[in-house]
Amino acid sequence: GGEIVAVQSYQTEQTDFRYQVRLLRGLDPDAPDEEDPADSETAGTGNGAGDKDEKTPPPFEALFVPDYSDRISLIAPQIAFYGLEDIQLLGTNGWNDTELPRLAKQFVEGAVFTDSFFLHSRYPFVQEFVEDYFNRFGEEPTILEAQGYDIAGIMLTLLNDPGIASREDLRRALSQLQNFPGVTGATRFDLVGEADKILFLLQIQKGVIVQIN
């Protein structure tokens, strides 16, 4: 039900995001920030004809930033610093890094993002997989190991069916698979063979990434 009302991009090595934030706010990106009247004898009256006031709230409720945690730790504080406060931050699996809450602190509190694997999920079958993997290999699994585990699980489940005796039988069984209970989310395949998963919905709460679905 959401609607995209504005889009801004930035360079890979960029470290200052004032220009993008001001454009998202509908302000002149080249104009100086409004001075605090308490610190100046005269206060500005605006940044030009038709420009919005510095205090005008943005025309959106959420901001989606599809990047990785090292970049988010730079972007999130500047989003607030340059005036986009009380905005719901949304992200991708690149945000699923335990270091992000430590690096970006209160600026990512409440942020919501998704991933197809969550190491600390409350689901018992995920906890069992993580524990078994750690006991065997001495380290925690990543998304790659989780995907491999689910692929093997799907194939073994289908191939143990005596009714599957050919490649065509297997292809048809895969196309009919519905919500296989994998550690990377319940899985099915669409008409062109792409995996369709129910993702983990995650949020940063009190400095910790938690599952909320």
Give pLDDT tens digits along the chain (213 positions): 889 999 999 999 999 999 999 999 988 888 887 654 444 343 333 444 345 566 777 889 999 999 999 999 999 999 999 988 889 999 999 999 999 999 999 999 999 999 999 999 999 999 999 999 999 999 999 999 999 999 999 999 999 999 999 999 999 999 999 999 999 999 999 888 888 999 999 999 999 999 998
* Residue 51 pLDDT: 52
Q: Are 112 and 89 in contact (CB under 8 A)?
A: yes
Task: Give the H or E element holding residue 79.
Answer: helix 69-81
* Residue 78 pLDDT: 95
* Residue 124 pLDDT: 95
* Residue 55 pLDDT: 73
Question: For 52-94, where are the E strands, in sequence order?
Answer: 62-64, 88-91
* Residue 190 pLDDT: 87
Q: Are 117 and 148 in contact (CB under 8 A)?
A: no
| 203 burial via Cβ count (<10 Å: 0-12, 13-18, 19+) | middle
* Residue 76 pLDDT: 96
CA 133, chain centre distance (Å)? 25
